[in-house]
Amino acid sequence: MAFAAFSTATGPATDPVARRRSPVALFLLLPGILYLVLFFLTPLVSLLLTSFQVPREFGDIGQYDYAFRWQNYVDVVTTYWPHIIRSFGYALAATFFALLISYPLAYFIGVKARKWPLVQSLMLVLVISPFFISFLLRTLAWKQLFSDESFLVQGLKTLSLLGPEAHLTGTAASVIFGLTYNFIPFMTLPLYTTLERLDVRYLEAGSDLYASPFQVFRRVTVPLSMPGIVAGTLLTFIPAAGDFINASRDFLGGTGTQMMGNVIEANFLVLQNYPSAAALSIILMGVILVIVSIYVKRSGTEELL
Amino acid sequence: MAVGAFADRGADLELVGLEKRFPGFTAVDNLNLTIPAGSFFALLGPSGCGKTTTLRLVAGLEEPTNGRILIGGEDVTNQKSFQRPVNTVFQSYALFPHMSVLDNVAFGLRRRKIADAVTKAHEALLLVELDHLAHRRPQQLSGGQQQRVALARALVNRPALLLLDEPLGALDLKLRRQMQIELKTIQEDVGLTFLHVTHDQEEAMTMADTIAVMNKGQIEQMGEPQQLYELPRTAFVANFLGQSNLFTGPVVSTTSTAISVDISGQKVVVPMERAHRSSGTVTVGVRPEKLSLHDEAPVHDASRNVMGPGKVVDVSFSGVSTQYLVAVPGVQTLVVFAQNMAHGPAAHVGAEVWVSWNIDHGFGLDDDPESEPRFEADLDTKTIAQQRRSSMATELEEA
Amino acid sequence: MKLSLGKWLLPVYSALALLFLMIPIGYTFVYSFNDSLKSNIVWRGFTLDKWLNVCNVQNGAVCEAFGNSLIIGAVATVAATAMGTMIAIAIVRYRFKFRSQTSLLLFLPMATPEVVLGAGLAAQFLSIGVPKDMLTIILAHTMFCISFVVVTVKARVASLDPALEEAGRDLYGSALQVFARITFPLLLPGIMAAALLSFALSFDDFIITNFNSGPVTTFPKYIWISAARGIPAEANVLASAVFIFALVVVVTVQVSGAAKARRLAKMS
């Protein structure tokens, strides 16, 4: 599936071995599964419980008691609904642009460059190379490139392509730009994996049957690359919705571009308003679980990993 | 390509000076060919001979380096494949896995905006007896069924020219025979022009009106199957279509009707009209099934050639016939096919035998044995293995 | 030979797209040579100083953060790779109950946004009363790396020809010997790839770290903190160094792999 794009193994798939029933399986599974239950499931439960907490009477900031305060959720939605909408909006836009930019690139590497496997590998290395440099520094570089004093902005202003008072940073556009940029590799890799396996003979058959190149693309290539498109979309949309680096004021964001991630972080680490942070997190998680369950319903759990 | 129109009948295909060069080798070398409308034409040859490339050039899936392609008199060389009135039945079938069988068959019709695409698609499926599976996916069909869907998908478009790229390769023997008959019937009924590419000489001879034998990018010989078989022009054709016994030697005398060739002391007579060359050193041959075995020197007969005595070195039973290998000193090992008219072999290993054949069954090749042969019939195992390897490598490269 | 526009459009676009991806990297690299004072925004002049004296600034805070990231990455990688490999082998080779639930449990950490993971863990540590420091960071990183290790190794295990292990058993190897001498060496490339991925994820992680680190600073956290007042060029230096190193390693592996394949093809 999506995440197998990260694997570098490309051996031929052999027939599934008759799987054995053995106590060894338990021994192999236990450490990792236990670890995840302890450090993944339990924290989520913890988060859920925290979201219902009440401030302790006469307690300090950051001290809460367990309760069932549903009101927390109502409060959080009423206060932060613009951020919620904005997060999913930005994520959707970023996903859309990332798809637009990545598809031709993935197509070139996966289909057109098949005759030169070394070129394919090197291009893929370049696609993932941004991962080798810290996410923060990448985003910071764009911020500085778009800042008012940069030569880029100065140049655009001289050419009158930008108004003298215009800013490139701190806008919705710059946040979406940052998100798109950072997630291009996440979109390109699954697309590449699917397109690499595309049998060109289908395209030839389409052309033989009177389909123009555009029609071949629309009716053969796109449907056959759908698994990659879906995987790339999931891999991009989900992290983008929860991102807060791009939108933070220190990077590409401004006061009007705060996303859910920023709010959660602010509430948790600064305001120590744990219930609010938790409630927002649960809402975010909830939406994502809905999307994932739709995917699982259509494709089953075997394909997940 | 006229939108919304069908061809009335098949069109003829003309290849003029067609050439396709890849870096390192020439796949198609100055090919000139005319296929008359409404005929079933086979391009026959071993892997790597350029037949598939020729097919792809006609389909528009490759661009020629030189030359022209004319369909029905119209120059289509610069047209892309979706513009040409040509359809292909691919070797791998290439049925779209994300569409139903019906949608696959209707695909071409819909692209050309032909009315009643669905009805016509159903008709085509009825023709190949698969209408009951119209809503299945290709992956759910057997190999034979997929092949028929691929055929329907191409046929439904009534192309002026239908190209078949070794479409029966993946089928088992019985199914293949069945499909050969069906294809031939459909072609005759509908009157389309079929261009069939194959390496199976039996298939070509069964189905085609005309066969062109290709080797190394060029046509070695072209004609009716029987003509090609009984009167091969080159050693390649003689060995590719069936088997041949070939002998090389100088022409010692000629008459107005025949030539006489000396093969290491044995005399072989070939009718003049069946000999391409009549002086110097020539290669003559005869098919194994035309040879008769004798356990004693046969009585002299002016209408027959005799070779011998020789020793039987191998007897191989294959159901319909038995193959004998007879070593004649100074000549070579002859291959003899004898129909099994009675129980048991006509001769045992080690027996001394004579071989004879009717003079009219012999043929003389056009090859000049003194010049560099284009294709050496090299019986050395190592060389054969090497040649097979290099042809497999070329096959892999082409794929 | 016809050179239509259509043929060149895609390659040119791809080259431009890749160039676009490289821009921030180039910027970071160039500015690592900037003769900056406090903040590294305005170009003042070229100098190799920052490269030569990386750890001098701010009492070596940058290097300390970098070192922390390395240690955390190493420990988390070892732990996650070990546990993840075992799970991958179990999933591919063995039958067990609750298969789909296990798949789901392994999948979810990859699908959960980092803010949620970070906040959840922090809330948990808070309620238990564990102070946030190096240990909590390592625990957190190990958690989200396991899933990625499983995915990577699973692909490798699935592509292993079972006939190889059967041959080993046929030739009198015990279960342990077969694993040690046949299975493990064949899995090694996949395990190494998983370890590499795990290390990269841990090293570059910021969000989860931020929620769970307390006073400890990792390299990304250092950058975040300094972003407000100005990131010293030394951070660029370290980042560029890591980038170059990683790029060289990966490209070398690819090129040598391709050369090996070509040599093998020539021999046969």
Q: In chain B, what are the domain boundaries?
A: 13-229, 234-382
Tell me if B82 and A205 make a contact (CB, 8 A cut-off): no
Q: Inspect the interface and report whether the beta carbons of B90 and A205 lie closer than 8 Å.
A: yes
Q: Do C124 and A250 touch (CB under 8 A)?
A: no
Cβ within 8 Å of A, C 203-222: 204, 206-207, 210-211, 219-220
Full DSSP string of B26-47: EEEEEEEEEE-TT-EEEEE--T
CATH number given to B13-229: 3.40.50.300
Residues A161-208 pLDDT 10s: 777 667 777 888 889 999 999 999 999 998 998 898 899 999 999 999
Query: CATH assignment of C60-228, given 3.10.350.10, 3.40.50.1000, 1.10.3720.10, 3.40.109.10?
Result: 1.10.3720.10
| Nearest-by-Cβ selection for B96 from A212, A215, A220 | A220
* Residue of B1, B58, B79, B82 best to disrupt the A interface, most CBs of A under 10 A: B82
To 10 degrees, the CA torsion angle through A247, A250, A254, A260? 30
List, for residues B225-240, the tens digit of each pLDDT value. 999 999 999 999 999 9
Dihedral of the alpha carbons of A159, A163, A167, A168, in degrees to the nearest 10? -50
Contacts of A204 in chain B (CB under 8 A): 61, 81, 88, 90, 94
Q: Could you state, in order of their start, the residue ranges of all structural domains in chain C?
A: 60-228
- Whether the per-residue pLDDT at B398 is higher than 80: the answer is no
Q: Which residue has the tokens 């744990």?
A: A274
| Dihedral sign, Cα of residue C236, residue C238, residue C244, residue C250 | negative
Chain A contacts of B82, Cβ < 8 Å?
A: 206-213, 215-216
**What integer pLDDT is reported at residue A4 of this predicted model?**
44
Chain A nearest-CA residue for B163: A208
Q: Maximum CA pair distance of chain A? A: 79
Residue C126 near chain A (CB below 8 Å): yes
Residue B49 has pLDDT above 90, yes or no: no
Distance of CA A101 to the CA centre of its chain: 15
pLDDT at residue A67 is higher than 80: no
| Chain B interface, best mutation among A208, A216, A219, A220, by max B CB count within 10 A | A208
Predicted local distance difference test score (pLDDT) of residue C96 = 85
What ipTM does the predicted assembly reach?
A: 0.83
Q: Other C-beta atoms within 10 Å of B53: how many?
A: 24
pLDDT score of A2 more than 50: no
Flag whether residue A205 sits within 8 Å of chain B, measured between CB atoms.
yes
Token code pair at residue C196: 């590499």
Single-letter amino acid code for the residue at C30: V
Domains of chain A: 82-299 (1.10.3720.10)
DSSP string, B137-175: -GGGS-HHHHHHHHHHHHHTT--SEEEEESTTTTS-HHH
pLDDT at B376 over 80: no
* CATH class in words for B234-382: mainly beta
Indicate if the pLDDT at residue C71 is higher than 80: yes
Contact A208 B98 (CB under 8 A): no
Question: Is B111 within 8 Å of A210 when comparing Cβ atoms?
Answer: yes
Query: Which positions in chain C touch A230 (Cβ < 8 Å)?
Result: none
Contact C80, C72 (CB under 8 A): no
Q: What are the tens digits of pLDDT across the range B70-120?
A: 998 899 999 989 999 999 999 889 999 999 999 999 999 999 999 999 999
